[in-house]
Amino acid sequence: MRRSKGDKDETRQRILDSAGRLFKADGIDGTGIAGLMADAGLTNGGFYKHFSSKDDLVAHTVADQLALQQRIVDALPPGRAGVEEFVRYYLSAQHRDGQSDGCVSAALLDEIGRCSDGVRQSYTQGLTLLMEEIARRLTPADPAASRTAVTTAFAMMAGSIQISRALADRAMADELLDNAATTALALFETAASAVPAPAASDTPAR
């Protein structure tokens, strides 16, 4: 009996979900296909029905993880309030301690940087869309004006999570995250303040 396209898509997504979680928890190199498929509740032989290689899986998993992060940002309150909520959650102990459910950048940047061009291209495309969305929220009149600040702040945020996870001193790790949140929000505030809000007559009707 042939499986429907919907069943195939659901199975593929189960593999991507397991890959995202296991890659972030154990690393890309530390995750084998057999263990991944077992985690997804599938047989090892079914892997190649969905992906041509592990590298192909990594590229699609990175894209899927960044798309998920994009949906999370899209669901936040509009404008700068949503940006602040994103920053405060990202730089929280909850995010730091939940690596397998957290940001793919903070968990896997070192490995992604050593991956194939295809994987790095998937990461570049997904991250660019995410940074553009944050920039649109921050400076809707001119998103390009805040793009550098957004990318710089996000790089600092991801690095802060990585260092916080590596520290044995919990108090120092928590302080690092608090200071990083203050710095990121200040950087966003400066970027937003540098771009005048659109005049009322220039604001399109809704």
Q: Identify the pLDDT of residue 200.
A: 55
The answer to whether 20 and 62 have CB atoms below 8 angstroms apart is no
For residue 21, give both structure tokens: 């979680």
Q: Identify the pLDDT of residue 80.
A: 92
Asked if residue 176 is part of any domain, the answer here is yes
Q: Identify the pLDDT of residue 37.
A: 96
What CATH number has the domain bearing residue 155? Answer: 1.10.357.10
Asked if residue 1 is part of any domain, the answer here is no
Residues in the chain where the model's pLDDT stays below 50: 1, 203-206
Asked if residue 49 is part of any domain, the answer here is no
Q: Identify the pLDDT of residue 100.
A: 96
Question: pTM for the complete prediction?
Answer: 0.89
What is the tally of structural domains in the chain? 1
Tens-place pLDDT, residues 152-183? 999 999 999 999 999 999 999 999 999 999 99
Asked if residue 48 is part of any domain, the answer here is no
Closest listed residue to residue 143, CA positions, set 129, 130, 133, 157: 133
Q: Identify the pLDDT of residue 194.
A: 86
The answer to whether 170 and 178 have CB atoms below 8 angstroms apart is no
Give the count of beta carbons closer than 10 Å to the beta carbon of residue 92: 17
Asked if residue 185 is part of any domain, the answer here is yes
Asked if residue 14 is part of any domain, the answer here is no
Q: Identify the pLDDT of residue 196.
A: 75
Q: Identify the pLDDT of residue 45.
A: 87
Range of the domain at 150: 54-195
Asked if residue 11 is part of any domain, the answer here is no
Q: Identify the pLDDT of residue 6.
A: 76
Asked if residue 144 is part of any domain, the answer here is yes
